[in-house]
Amino acid sequence: MNFELKTLDLNAAAALKTDVLLVLVSAAFKPSRNALSELIVQARKSGDLDSSPAKMLSLWRAHGVSAARVLLVSSGEGHARHIRQAVTAAVASLKAASPKSLTLWMEDATQQRLHAATQAVADTSYVYTATKPTAKASLLKRVVLGLPTATQTQNAKSDFDHACAQVCGVALAKEWGNRPANHATPSMLAKVAQTLGKRPRVRCEVLGPEQIHKLGMGSFAAVAQGSREPMRFIVLHYNGAPKSQAPTVLVGKGITFDTGGISIKPAAGMDEMKFDMCGAASVLGTFEALARLQPALNVVGLIPTCENMPGGLALKPGDVVTSMSGQTIEVLNTDAEGRLILCDALTYAKRFKPRAVIDIATLTGACVVSLGHVRSGLFSASDDLAHALEAAGEAALDPCWRLPLDDDYAEGLKSNFADVANVGGRDGGAITAAKFLQRFAKDYPWAHLDIAGSAWKSGAAKGATGRPVGLLLHYLLGLVPKPASQAQAKSGKTPTRRRTATSAA
Ligand code: BES
Ligand code: MN
Ligand code: ZN
């Protein structure tokens, strides 16, 4: 999908050759003297269009407009959430018409509105086809985002680039999240990372079983030992700044299927454990976005990836394993495997002398109980890091909520047979999981995102969401020092920006 940013007043929008013209109308819309304004005024007068968000009026061959279809859609007060609602409803209503081009006109664009609009177009027209060739792929190839004045387009430029990169990152995360476990094995995820490694400023290294054992990652290796699929440890580098700049490290949980192991899960709904690599997918998606934007930053991505299977060779409840940190772990429940693979990656992260380490994991069902499917769980002992991630989540419409890390929550992790047990009691399960990880993340500022409730949707709309790529990208771009000249951007006369936002595979 190709996104373009263009200066379009309503006259120009009416004259534009496009299959569909989608006009977002907020409560504050000020009509001017042109055909579209006239239509909007009439529609409002007659009560066919009111200002409640996503209220829509569809017109066919409207007088004075060259697009065959015009959709007048109310964006309520113009909040980003309303824009997302409005664009989602409008694009969904076009499914049967399957347009090839779409022009989306907005009165004005804040960063949040741009993100909401572009992401909503992409999300609503996304069709999963990798293992369903009969699914009708979207034909939408060209999306023009129109803003009324050249100053507005000029000001929106960098936010628009960011939004397009995010769309691509989210698409990659969704695509790999959705693929079933036999089409998204650890080796296949490693291939995706290696392909990313060919992009400018990106480098990829993939470690196999022998190297992983050699590093002493006994905890990670223990989870993988019950599966025929060989484990992989993926190391991605994005180097956009001098070597002297400490990197941010992202660690993604890459369990390509979680049966629970010997502590096996119930059959109902187990298929959804193909999504247990969505943390890993979000790291890959974030690298896709970085590769497109090329910001002045250093980022490292670490992905421990394997299956969690039962079998004759599998890890057993009560087994004690030695982590790379040297701490021994009593595995009381083999279904608490995420923390077992992440702890070794957190130890590995030390070597980069990071400015911060953020792990992203579909870690606990308890987090879903706490926060549902709206906000991801956030844990951090660093107020600065927590606040920055919270703010990034709000800005990207990819919100999280901070939960506590009091030491008293770690009581249940005590073991008579090892330094630590891998599970505490049932109560406060998302927090005890975070307390377990914290033991391995003492040497740098650290945050943990539990995305068990936000990474995918169940039910009729079952599918990966691509979260929290938006949050992560926002946070990372916030670390880039802003050149003083940026505020003084010269008013050029090239208001058209082309961006290709396609391809997940
Ligand atoms: N991948 C699951 C967490 C999960 C469960 C995410 C359901 C989304 C929906 C994780 O590996 C797991 O099984 N966690 C256990 C931990 C427990 C054994 C302490 C859980 O949440 O039940
Ligand atoms: Mn599990
Ligand atoms: Zn899991």
In tens digits, the chain (505 residues) has pLDDT values of 999 999 999 999 999 999 999 999 999 999 999 999 999 999 999 999 999 999 999 999 999 999 999 999 999 999 999 999 999 999 999 999 999 999 999 999 999 999 999 999 999 999 999 999 999 999 999 999 999 999 999 999 999 999 999 999 999 999 999 999 999 999 999 999 999 999 999 999 999 999 999 999 999 999 999 999 999 999 999 999 999 999 999 999 999 999 999 999 999 999 999 999 999 999 999 999 999 999 999 999 999 999 999 999 999 999 999 999 999 999 999 999 999 999 999 999 999 999 999 999 999 999 999 999 999 999 999 999 999 999 999 999 999 999 999 999 999 999 999 999 999 999 999 999 999 999 999 999 999 999 999 999 999 999 999 999 999 999 999 999 887 765 544 444 444 555 655 544 3
Residue 87 in any domain: the answer is: yes
Does ligand 1 have an atom closer than 6 angstroms to the CB of 261? no
How are beta strands 376-380 and 400-402 bridged, if at all? Answer: parallel
Do 187 and 137 share a structural domain?
no
Q: Is the dihedral of CA 110, 115, 120, 125 positive or negative?
A: positive
Last residue of a domain, one of 155, 173, 191: 173
Q: What is the pLDDT of residue 499?
A: 61
In this structure, the answer to whether residues 297 and 377 fall within a common structural domain is: yes
Instruction: Please work out whether the CB of residue 356 comes within 6 Å of at least one atom of ligand 1.
Output: no
Asked if 255 and 392 sit in the same domain, the reply is yes
Query: Who's near 122: CB < 8 A, 6+ residues apart?
Result: 1, 167, 170, 171, 501
CB 34 within 8 A of CB 11: yes
- Residue 483 within a domain: no
Distance CA 177, CA 205 (A): 21
**Residue 482 located in a structural domain:** no
**Quick one: 231 and 337 in the same domain?**
yes
Of 151, 173, 195, which residue is a domain's last? Answer: 173
The answer to whether residues 195 and 343 belong to one domain is: yes
Catalytic residue, candidates 199, 203, 265, 402: 265
Same-domain status, 97 and 20 = yes
Q: Are 220 and 296 in contact (CB under 8 A)?
A: no
In a domain, residue 489? The reply is: no
Pocket test for ligand 1, best of 256, 305, 335, 423 (most atoms within 8 A of CB): 335
What was the pLDDT predicted at 486? 56
CB of 236 closer than 8 Å to CB of 301: yes
217, exposed or middle or buried, with CB in 10 Å at 0-12, 13-18, 19+? Answer: buried
The CATH number given to whatever domain includes residue 365 is 3.40.630.10
Number of the ligand closest to the Cα of 456:
1
**Cβ burial 282-297 (10 Å sphere, 16+ → b, else e):** bbbbbbbbbbbbebeb
In degrees, rounded to 5, the angle at the alpha carbon of residue 310 between the alpha carbons of residues 307 and 316 is: 110
For 94-217, where are the alpha helices, taking DSSP H only? 111-125, 150-178, 186-196, 209-214
Same domain, 302 and 424: yes
Question: Do 164 and 218 share a domain, yes or no?
Answer: no
For ligand 2, a single-atom ion, which residues have Cβ within 5 Å? 258, 335, 337
| 81 is a catalytic site residue | no
Q: At what angle do helices 111-125 and 150-178 cross, to 10 degrees?
A: 40
Cα–ligand 2 centroid distance for 316 (angstroms): 14
- On whether residue 349 sits in a domain, the answer given is yes
Last residue of a domain, one of 122, 152, 173: 173
* Whether 131 and 192 share a structural domain: no
- Assess if residue 55 is contained within a domain: yes
Rounded distance, CA 29 to CA 51, Å? 10
Closest CA to 471 of 355, 389, 362, 360: 389
Q: Say whether both 295 and 317 belong to one domain.
A: yes
Contacts of 15 (CB under 8 A, 6+ apart): 66
The residue whose C-alpha atom lies closest to atom 22 belonging to ligand 1 is: 365
Residue 269 tokens read as 């709904």
Distance CA 310, CA 290 (A): 37
Enclosing domain of residue 409 = 179-477
Q: Taking a C-beta distance cutoff of 8 angstroms, is the pair 148, 10 a contact?
A: yes
Q: Is 265 a catalytic residue?
A: yes
The reply to whether 141 and 222 lie within a common domain is no
CA angle 180, 197, 448 (to 5 degrees): 65
**Any idea how long the chain is?**
505
What is the distance in A from the centroid of ligand 3 to the CA of 412?
20
Is residue 500 in a domain? no
Residue 157 belongs to domain with CATH number: 3.40.220.10
Query: Which two structure tokens, joined as six digits, stand for 376?
Result: 């991801």
- The string over 423-458, giving b where at least 16 C-beta atoms fall within 10 Å of a residue's C-beta and e elsewhere, is bbeeebbbbbbbbbbbbbbeebbbbbbbbbbbbbee
Same domain (yes/no): 213, 336: yes
Q: Is 489 helix (H, G, I), strand (E, B) or coil?
A: coil
DSSP, collapsed to helix, strand or coil, labels residue 101 as strand
For the chain, how many structural domains are there in total?
Answer: 2
Among 339, 375, 439, 467, the one annotated catalytic: 339
Which of 264, 265, 271, 364, when mutated, tests ligand 1's pocket best, judged by the most ligand atoms within 8 Å of its CB? 364
Decide the pairing of beta strands 232-239 and 101-105: unpaired
In this structure, the strands spanning 376-380 and 446-450 are antiparallel
**248, 241 contact by CB (below 8 A):** no
Residue 261 lies in a domain: yes
Residue 482: predicted pLDDT: 83
